[in-house]
Amino acid sequence: MSVELGTFLRSRRERLSPADAGLPVTGRRRTPGLRREELALLAGISATWLTYLEQGRDVRPSGQVLDALARALRLSAAEQEHLRRLAGGGATAAEDAPEEVAPEVAGVPALLGDNPAYVTGICYDVLAHNAAAAELLRGIGPGGNVVRWVFTEPAAREVLVDWEQEARTILARLRAVAGRHPGHPRVKRLVAELTDASPEVREWWPRYDIQFSHAGRKRFRHPRLGVITMAHAAFPVAERPEQTLVVYHLPSAGGIAAPR
């Protein structure tokens, strides 16, 4: 059983107060959140079984147990999905080698013309991009990494109008990736690098926020157009689902016209 599962369960138990769970508050508590015995009671399982799960022992919870824990912890839909993935053991760690993208996939962003587009790998390495993406996301390109750019590139705080919101979101997505691929060497190295480089990552990573969003809107400071709001959507590559094509566009005006 994944140690990541135990970490996730503890993080969610510690964020849920007795009052939130409908339990009486008695006396002073040394640690925040629910006690292990309280969560076990709410979920209808033994405290010993919950201890094994939180310790990452080699036990396999049933779907019924996972559903009971999800209800007791008041998990969101995304968190419930993450819980089930962790309980399934996660994906096998990929080889510690540079990630390759098929030429046919690498050529797609260029086909999208004035719409900024790029392809990322398992831990948000940029594998291909078009000129519109290079103009919009200043300082990023093949060989770069989206999460590293957000947290360590000064230009990112200028480009992303709502930097903190976007930074929390991308870190929550990386957290989900780390959960799906426990022990993946490149993911582990990236997390270690970001933790060392960014005070925000050091503060936010232990909170275990996760997110699986694939579409939405973001505000950018474009070098020619000023502050703009762009819609975006992400599409997994069929044969390599951990690779993703991300496309941006202006909701009402199509792509960004190139300078004449």
Map residue 96 onto helix, strand or coil.
Answer: coil
Q: What's residue 260's pLDDT? A: 46
Q: What is the pLDDT of residues 122-152, one digit of tens each?
A: 999 999 999 999 999 998 866 789 999 999 9
**Res. 91: pLDDT tops 50:** no
Tokens of 181: 């691929």
Q: Which domains does the chain have, with CATH numbers?
A: 3-87 (1.10.260.40), 103-249 (3.30.450.180)
Map residue 33 onto helix, strand or coil.
Answer: coil
User: 125 or 77: which carries more pLDDT confidence?
Assistant: 125
Task: Report yes or no: 83 and 75 within 8 Å, Cβ to Cβ.
Answer: yes
Mean pLDDT, the chain, integer: 87
Q: What is the pLDDT of residues 30-70, one digit of tens each?
A: 777 888 898 989 999 888 889 988 888 877 888 888 888 99
> What's the pTM?
0.74
